[in-house]
Chain A
């Protein structure tokens, strides 16, 4: 590629937005934009959209490694497959997978086969595992508590038959894995949300915490530094030491381990044996059934044993098993919990009860249901 231009750096002040979305479309989408009238599923991972003009288009969903972290080598394979069998366009999905778009069922099946050959399974949609979304955690972040991609890998290894359709589920299942309480895997409104957390109050690093504090206690009179201001429960106290510098204290009893302080200051530490994941169950953003809601904290803490994370996988398996046993066809976890009751669901999962998972059932309206009285 030619690099003959001489750019002026100050132009960078104006962001260059990517080309309009339509420029990326193949002709068949341009022709039938907004004219799709029907859909058909051809096994897991292939969906056919039929336009009012009679033309149809096939989308193939293929799973990517956790956190959709791929090398250029793999990207080139994807480009190759899209060029050879697809319409020279792919779509990055919300669930961190990739969709190939093509114009015949034969080509769609070919894509499934070729990608399978490379080690990437096709699946998802209808009554199956749609995706396990992971935040980047140790891969590129610096505020995480646990490594989400490797937990995702462990979960995917077990749940893969549910993705490819060999094993059936009552309904759609979305799983999200986040490395810390910032929940960068996207949302707490997922069917099963695994969230890493510290499980303890942070300990300021005795040597380095000074980089997050004002040098002189005089400053405290004027403004509360970020590191204390961000705490939602006022558990972080700053005080003037005798020598005029600033001291910091974290109140273990007040702390809710939300990790906000870690977001603004690197120099907090934690004991690796106390970190773990919480498992939240029964949320969704879709308006189906009982509507959108956040997930319930059913399991407050599960220990971590890398690299296999058997405890985490076992807990998620148990939750899916209980759901499968109780669900009516087409019922997502949240709706099953609504029908049989949260108490009963937790009893069947068998999780010990404590002050941390005393969940309150939520029964009011969210999402577009907030508009219903007017329509």
Chain B
């Protein structure tokens, strides 16, 4: 099986993985929900995640029916919506972040109905400085049109591969990959269960035979230890629910950003060790 060799992209995602590869480092990808726990938390949180050692930022688009999320991110979605969050406000936050950070890729993650409701989403997202999009409920078969529209404005659609994805299907997904591939480490919702490291190792090794596109692993990675175990077999790891919980438990923006920075640095150390 010949590998799919992607010409290196010119966007921030490709550049970031290029830099990390040249330094022999793995990517730390962090997730927080936009507008949670308060509207004024998100942009400072993004900067402190970068300060703590995050290389790519995922920002959740709050949605009323987040059917693939575990309790932590469900609660974050409800809080954010109660704060009046909308997709337009998510884009404003990205634009504000971009005023002082032009290097760190920002990837929006959410559910298709949010994006469908904004007719000119590709243009507006591109103008705000968005680099990638992960749609939890958009499998490859349904996503060709959106991927094409976003490719025209240099936004990568990032496909997910699950433990249940067959080899044949994985080849289809891989051949349409852009940005990076997101391997879902467990059968379950975000932040749930215990990580089956052996299975992750086996599946990521198989995916590696198919493609040179960067491979990140997420769902169920909570701390430095699990991050280290998984990053050995991938180009990066995604941490979400643990950070979301940390923010929810913080008294104010200052303490939330400080705790985020510390937690991110600890996970960074685990990966680099």
Q: Is the pairing of A and B real?
A: no
* A residues at B contact (CB < 8 Å): none
